[in-house]
Amino acid sequence: MKALSQHRRHPLMGLALLLLGLLVTGGLYSVASTVNQAQAADKVTTAASSDEIAEGEKLFNANCASCHGMGADGGPSGPSLIGVGAASVDFQVGTGRMPMQMNGPQARQKEPQFNEEQTAQLAAYVASLGAGPAVPEEEHLDTNHEDVNVARGGDLFRINCAMCHNAAAAGGALTRGKFAPTLQGVDEKHIYEAMQTGPQNMPVFGDGNLKPEDKRDIIAYLKTIENNGSPGGLSLGSLGPVSEGLFIWTAGLAIIIGFMVWLTSRSS
């Protein structure tokens, strides 16, 4: 017993226990990751065929791996995509933000490089690597559903989104050259996916924050104000009191100066 107690007090015993703990933790994490990927692959296979995933992998390796790494585990120019889900890929690729045209504070929307079928294949491949948000179902995008509440959607938008996207959803400036884009003309699916995945500087609004029906109400509100236009007349970009005040100030000065020039010409 005395010899055993001496070994316990050995100065390297703490280090040995620490290494043992790290090995055990790493092993458990590896097992959990493998199980997670296997479960994700099983789920994706039910919605996407193995052929679709294989085609998506080919597209990814040819167009995305240079930044995101082979196997989508990240690289020097792009983050890992394992676990981001199909919704993130469908949003980024479907809006043309990815592949990026050039480096900058944030990816800008442009004409998509891939068609819908290729985008679905890329999304299926990335989704097979790890569980993540799926592409929303049509029932969550139906703004004509009998349970849609546009007024409630407006309240939710003003509480959660208007501080960045503007109360009229016209977009707004953020810090360091970043911006919240306009939501006018954006497809319902992409709006839903943006709330699900939180692209760029946007926070993630998971189902715990905004339930699927909440997201549907917000989309219905956005489409309502988009279709109604500007009932008050000239919208001036819907940028708020700053642009309106500047317009009134500039127009007022122009009228005053013009009137003075007219009076001067009359007196001479």
Q: Does 10 belong to an annotated binding site?
A: no
Please report, as a single letter, which amino acid is at residue 224.
Answer: T
User: What pLDDT does 20 receive?
Assistant: 73
Residue with tokens 């890992």, as numbered in its chain: 80
DSSP3 helix / strand / coil % (the chain, rounded to 5): 60, 0, 35
Residue 75: strand, helix, or coil: strand
Which residues on adjacent β-strands are paired with residue 173? Answer: 179
From 3.40.50.300, 3.40.50.2300, 1.20.58.340, 1.10.760.10, which CATH number describes the 45-135 domain? 1.10.760.10
- The residues of the chain scoring below 50 in pLDDT are 1, 4, 38, 40-46
Say yes or no: domain 141-244 is CATH 3.10.290.20: no
Given phi > 0 = left and psi -120 to 50 = alpha, else beta, which region is 238?
left
Residue with tokens 């109604």, as numbered in its chain: 228
Q: Report the C-alpha dihedral over residues 158, 159, 163, 168, rounded to 10 degrees.
A: -10
User: What pLDDT does 152 receive?
Assistant: 96
User: What pLDDT does 250 receive?
Assistant: 86
Q: Does 7 belong to an annotated binding site?
A: no
User: What pLDDT does 231 receive?
Assistant: 60
Q: Terminal CA-to-CA distance of the chain, rounded, Å? A: 119
Residue with tokens 């020097």, as numbered in its chain: 76
Which pLDDT tens digit goes with each residue over 77-115? 889 999 999 999 999 999 999 998 888 889 999 999 999
pTM of the full structure = 0.72
Please report, as a single letter, which amino acid is at residue 132.
Answer: G
> What is the spatial distance between Cα 183 and Cα 166, in angstroms, rounded to a whole number?
10
Are 94 and 119 in contact, with CB atoms under 8 Å apart? yes
Q: Does 190 belong to an annotated binding site?
A: no
User: What pLDDT does 248 receive?
Assistant: 77
Residue 118: strand, helix, or coil: helix
Are 64 and 100 in contact, with CB atoms under 8 Å apart? no
Are 53 and 125 in contact, with CB atoms under 8 Å apart? yes
Q: Residue ranges per domain, the chain?
A: 45-135, 141-244
Which pLDDT tens digit goes with each residue over 54-70? 999 999 999 999 999 99
